[in-house]
Chains A and B, each alone.
Chain A
Amino acid sequence: MTATGTGMYTPKPGAAPLTRMIAAQAALETKMLLRNGEQLLLTVVIPTLLLVLFSTVDIVDTGAGEAVDFLAPGILALAVMSTAFTGQAIATGFERRYGVLKRLASSPLPRWGLMTAKTLSVLVTEVLQVVLLTVIAFALGWSPHGNPFAVLLLLVLGTAAFSGLGLLMAGTLKAEATLAAANLVFLLLLVGGGVIVPLDKFPAAAQDVLGLLPISALSDGLRDVLRHGAGMPWADLGILGVWAVVGLAAAGKFFRWE
């Protein structure tokens, strides 16, 4: 080698500390999500509109008591689903399609680090959603009860269950198929998962099946605690736990990076 360079590119390789890599990745993922109009529609606009509309206009019979006391827990469950499932599935599906996952796989960030960052980004978004929706619900006259720890546990298990299902979809289907399917599932679960329509409006046979959906378990569990002041909603936590284990295991097994 005869030519002398500027020294600008002289090799000095090395990975950044893991925590710094994961924090940077989580920050970027969150930024991408908050910049995306469709994602904001899904995670912020729709839950907010539904909460305000159904609390103030008597469209669906939500049973005795204030409508907002029925709706707020359901909308919180919807917020978790919109971010952990629909939003994450669509974003990850397109990252896979456009080679982002592939490119990051050859960076110093390990794959589990990328997944950790994705989870952190989902959690940060959920905190923002919960704060916003809680403030709005209070303004609408919401009076929640119950054990905050039970609420937190439900939200975390719900996030795990929906993340597993979302990543399973993103890692196995084409990006366009994920986009269509994730939106369709969002709509179906919004209607049939006890979010704004009480499950007891459905025929008894359907109720038994619908009650096993992760969205039903989450909205029902949150409602038991926040509306009725119940203790630990073990049945709902159990359903969410099973979905989380099955979903995450399947995603771990079948996820394709490119």
Chain B
Amino acid sequence: MRSEPVVQVQALVKRYGTKTAVDGLDLVARAGVTAVLGPNGAGKTTTVETCEGYRKPDSGTVRVLGLDPVGQSRELRPRIGVMLQSGGVYSGSRADEMLRHVAKLHAHPLDVGALIERLGLDSCGRTTYRRLSGGQQQRLALAMAVVGRPELVFLDEPTAGLDPQARRATWDLVRDLRADGVSVILTTHYMDEAEQLADDVAIIDGGRVIAQGSPEELCRGGAENTLRFSGRPGLDVGSLLKALPADCSAAELTPGSYRVVGKVDPQLLATVTSWCAQHGVMPEKISVERHTLEDVFLELTGKELRS
């Protein structure tokens, strides 16, 4: 068991006019990195902004570090760091100036110079915010979220639109935060980001959490795996199926290319190869595909994640 929850959301409902953005959402996030994964419009930002105290729930309860984000905002705000999806900086301010300013609002801020160097913001020089590149603006927003040495950091789509190098720099920082005991809640619609960074993934769709667990648990529990091999065309798939456990399926997808779907374990692999041996088939290009979060997501929602 890990420690006390850092975020606890129960039966959260949030409507905008007639549109229900969040519809009875339950979420428990513990220390470490939690990724809130879902397509655009799933309710990720609304959920996170309710935790940050920006929105009042229409019903349900939200506790962050044990506090009510709206009613106990004053106690909570110094303990969290917030990175908005965009903006948040005076258009006429320089990166170092804005970061130093946010540092001044905290009692024990990080060394601003070291943070600027760490995130490669020293290249911004005297350029004002509106003239920074998208990547520089994102990194500044990230720096502003961590400079106050918070216990918990909320990152809303921290790498959206970043080039691969800037993305990796952001991932490294998230890993460093985790290693130093800072909890992170991040929203993303990038599968690999959740797989790479998160201890725990909550999949949101239609304003609800439809699955939650570690990336491994989700991939193991939610989806079946696939075994592929090639052989001569026209093998007796019916006979293969009889040799396999009952919950497996087998098919010849294209002539000579076979697929077995089921709980792929060493025993299953042995069953398939011994069936091949009995039938004088040399299986080539045997591969076992572990299901990714992308497959899990597709299975659970019937939707492609990247929209």
Contact = CB atoms under 8 A, between A and B. Distances in A.
A4 B80 CA distance: 22
B30 to A, nearest CB: 11
Q: Which of B101, B105, B178 has the most CB of A within 10 A?
A: B105
Interface string B80-99: 10101011111111000100
Given A105-B54, A106-B52, A13 B78 contact: yes
B144 interface: yes
B106 to A, nearest CB: 6
A1 B108 CA distance: 24
Interface string B141-183: 0001010111100000000000000000000000111111110
Interface residues of A, number: 38
Interface of B: 31-32, 52-54, 74, 77-80, 82, 84, 86-93, 97, 101-102, 104-108, 110, 114, 118, 144, 146, 148-151, 175-182
Given A10-B181, A36-B92, A99 B86 contact: yes
Given A1-B32, A21-B104, A106-B53, 15 more contacts: A1-B178, A3-B179, A8-B176, A9-B149, A9-B176, A10-B149, A11-B151, A13-B149, A13-B151, A14-B78, A14-B108, A15-B78, A21-B105, A99-B87, A107-B148
Nearest to B83: A103
A11 B87 contact: no
A85 B182 CA distance: 43
B144 A103 contact: yes
Contacts of A14: 78, 106-108
A106 B89 contact: no
B102 to A, nearest CB: 6
A252 interface: no
Interface string A148-192: 000000000000000000000000000000000000000000000
